[in-house]
Amino acid sequence: MSKIAEQKALKIVKQYDYPWDTGSIFKGYVQGYDQAMQDLLEKACEWLMHNNDWHDGEVDFYVKNFKNYMQNESEN
């Protein structure tokens, strides 16, 4: 679970006085947020691989660095 997903979920859950299990809502929110982030990251990397002026050897380098940067950014 990314820290940003956890923080956003806590913020949402704390706003309301739910009559049902907030733990389940929290987990569902975090899982959905994390999946959306992964889907977005994969789609961005796919776009980078097909829409660039880099040489073949550079594509993997830049895509790998982009993924690392985005994953580390989302945890800060």
Reported as a single tens digit per residue, the pLDDT across 2-36 is 677 677 777 776 766 665 666 777 777 777 788 88
Residue 67 and residue 45 in contact, taking contact as beta carbons nearer than 8 Å: yes
Neighbouring C-beta atoms of residue 33, cutoff 10 Å: 19
Alpha-carbon distance of 61 to 7, in angstroms, equals: 31
Which of residues 57 and 75 earns the better pLDDT score? 57
CA distances from 54 to 41, 58, 59 (A): 19, 6, 6
What pTM did the predictor assign?
0.57
User: What's the confidence (pLDDT) of residue 76?
Assistant: 45
Choose among 24, 36, 33: nearest CA to 5.
Answer: 33
Reported as a single tens digit per residue, the pLDDT across 32-48 is 788 888 888 888 888 88
